[in-house]
Amino acid sequence: MREIPGAWRRTADGAGLRAADGTIGSTIFAEMTGLAASTGAINLGQGFPDEDGPAVVLDAAREAIARGVNQYAPGRGFADLLTAIAEHQERFYGLRLDPERDIIVTAGATEALAATLLALLDGPDNEVVVFEPYYDAYAAAVALAGARLVTVPLRWPDFQPDLDELAAAVTDRTRVILVNDPHNPTGAVFAPAVREQIVRLAERHDAVIVTDEVYEHLVFDGAHVPIATLPGAWERTVSISSAGKTFSVTGWKIGWLSGPAPLVSAILTVKQYLTYANGSPFQPAIATGLRLPREFFADLAATLRDKRDTLGRGLRAAGFAVSDPRGSYFTVADASALGATDAADFCRTLPERAGVVGIPLTAFASAEHRDQFATLVRFAACKRVDVLDEASRRLALLGA
């Protein structure tokens, strides 16, 4: 068995990925959603909305099925969706993409990440610098690619990286700097100086920036700034996004990536053997969504900002300390005032004690760094306001 450093290891016995403790772990999201289902607790764990997205988008998918859009899409995605993605990048960010060469539609952001990392990484001499805590699929994909994860800590309460620690992590061994902005699980939006430092270091060490921006339309103050728009960034950046969060269709798994054509072609080489193509009738529906007026996108962010505020008030009233997120679905709360010393234990008993499910931040950290997040819990705000109110009422009983 060959061991790969990181939170996961790859095994040679055909069993695929195993958790670092040797068990075949289910993801924390599956575990916690299962716990919510078996206990009837309110699921503020897995990040999915409990309301449908825009009706025109849902109708467009139904209409596409009725129209017979039911066979394989082209490997890169349908031309109209590629065009809609290019239009979206220009309308919101002033980025001008060639739809035929600079974009690929993928099976969610997850496939975009996996294909990108598998295409760019080649064995244990390649390092991927990632901000910790990190979305769990990152460590798994880096392990699949046989590369090494190098972490830069994000610390409570603002979760911005230290620029010197970031500089120390990036070396000539760094093949990829993996960014997630807005950030899951912390809700951080990186400061301009952080983005600039990432680009500077990528240029200095000839690294590729892979940026996961699935929460691009869930920024609460001001506009989202894609790293690809910074001077010097475009030619070395792969930008990833997904329809799941923007149109409340996480189950459709339509994502995309964009970047300079040579990088995109390398990734397509891998992607064509992962899924080849997916979600034919959903692709025209997402093209419809991406062309919705600006107000739709502004309302989405404003609605989630209100939900963030509702959740934050409830958590504070229950005795948690709260890090106010600047974006994403998520709020991180410190449960130490409620007696927590181990977030995983706290979250496993929370459904029984309070009828609410959250995700321990330790699930987003490598084994050697888990103690830094030992009392922190991630709660999802992407739920109906009445659900958030009920969760708040239940959590308030914790300290009673």
What mask, x for binding ligand GLN by CB under 6 A, covers residues 171 to 190?
-------------x------
Query: Which is nearest to 7 in space by CA: 337, 373, 288, 319?
Result: 373
Q: Residue 16 Cβ, how far from ligand PMP at the closest point, in Å?
A: 18
Q: Residue 124 Cβ, how far from ligand GLN at the closest point, in Å?
A: 26
Task: Give the nearer residue to ligand PMP in terms of CB position, either 217 or 394.
Answer: 217
Residues within the interface to ligand PMP (CB under 6 A): 47, 108-110, 135, 180, 184, 212, 214, 242, 244, 250, 253, 255
Q: Residue 150 Cβ, how far from ligand GLN at the closest point, in Å?
A: 22
User: Looking at 17, 19, 25, 29, which residue binds ligand GLN (CB under 6 A)?
Assistant: 29
Output the six-digit token pair for 48. Answer: 């999915």
Task: Give the nearer residue to ligand PMP in terms of CB position, either 184 or 392.
Answer: 184
46 binding partner (options ligand PMP, ligand GLN, none; Cβ < 5 to 8 Å by kind) = ligand GLN
Axis crossing angle, helix 55-66 with helix 282-290, rounded to the nearest 10 = 150
**Per-position DSSP letters for 49-90, written without gaps between them:** -SS---HHHHHHHHHHHHTT--SPPPTT--HHHHHHHHHHHH
Residue found under tokens 């600047």: 326
Task: Give the nearer residue to ligand GLN in terms of CB position, either 47 or 279.
Answer: 47
Q: Residue 184 Cβ, how far from ligand GLN at the closest point, in Å?
A: 5
Quick check: 327 binds ligand GLN (CB under 6 A)? no
Q: Residue 397 Cβ, how far from ligand PMP at the closest point, in Å?
A: 29
Number of other residues whose CB lies within 10 A of the CB of residue 276: 12
**Chain centre distance of CA 194:** 18
Whether the CB-CB separation of 335 and 320 falls below 8 Å is answered with yes
29 binding partner (options ligand GLN, ligand PMP, none; Cβ < 5 to 8 Å by kind) = ligand GLN
CA distances from 372 to 88, 311, 334, 360, 365 (A): 39, 24, 12, 12, 9
Output the six-digit token pair for 175. Answer: 């093949």
Quick check: 27 binds ligand GLN (CB under 6 A)? yes
Task: Give the nearer residue to ligand PMP in terms of CB position, either 30 or 337.
Answer: 30
Q: Residue 378 Cβ, how far from ligand GLN at the closest point, in Å?
A: 8
**Per-position DSSP letters for 166-185, written without gaps between them:** HHHH--TTEEEEEEESSPTT
Q: Residue 29 Cβ, how far from ligand GLN at the closest point, in Å?
A: 3
255 binding partner (options ligand GLN, ligand PMP, none; Cβ < 5 to 8 Å by kind) = ligand PMP
126 binding partner (options ligand PMP, ligand GLN, none; Cβ < 5 to 8 Å by kind) = none
First CA to last CA distance, the chain: 50
Q: What 3-state class would DSSP assign to 368?
A: helix
Axis crossing angle, helix 79-93 with helix 282-290, rounded to the nearest 10 = 20
Q: Residue 27 Cβ, how far from ligand GLN at the closest point, in Å?
A: 5
Task: Give the nearer residue to ligand PMP in terms of CB position, either 89 or 211.
Answer: 211
Task: Give the nearer residue to ligand GLN in terms of CB position, either 29 or 156.
Answer: 29
110 Cβ contact partners less than 8 Å away, ≥ 6 residues apart: 137, 253, 255
102 binding partner (options ligand GLN, ligand PMP, none; Cβ < 5 to 8 Å by kind) = none
Q: Residue 249 Cβ, how far from ligand PMP at the closest point, in Å?
A: 9
Whether the CB-CB separation of 351 and 36 falls below 8 Å is answered with yes
Task: Give the nearer residue to ligand PMP in terms of CB position, either 128 or 318.
Answer: 128
156 binding partner (options ligand GLN, ligand PMP, none; Cβ < 5 to 8 Å by kind) = none
Query: Which is nearest to 35 in space by CA: 267, 345, 242?
Result: 345
User: Looking at 20, 41, 46, 357, which residue binds ligand GLN (CB under 6 A)?
Assistant: 46
212 binding partner (options ligand GLN, ligand PMP, none; Cβ < 5 to 8 Å by kind) = ligand PMP
Amino acid symbol at 275: T
Whether the CB-CB separation of 326 and 182 falls below 8 Å is answered with yes
Which residues of this chain interact with ligand GLN, rule CB under 6 A? 27, 29, 46-47, 184
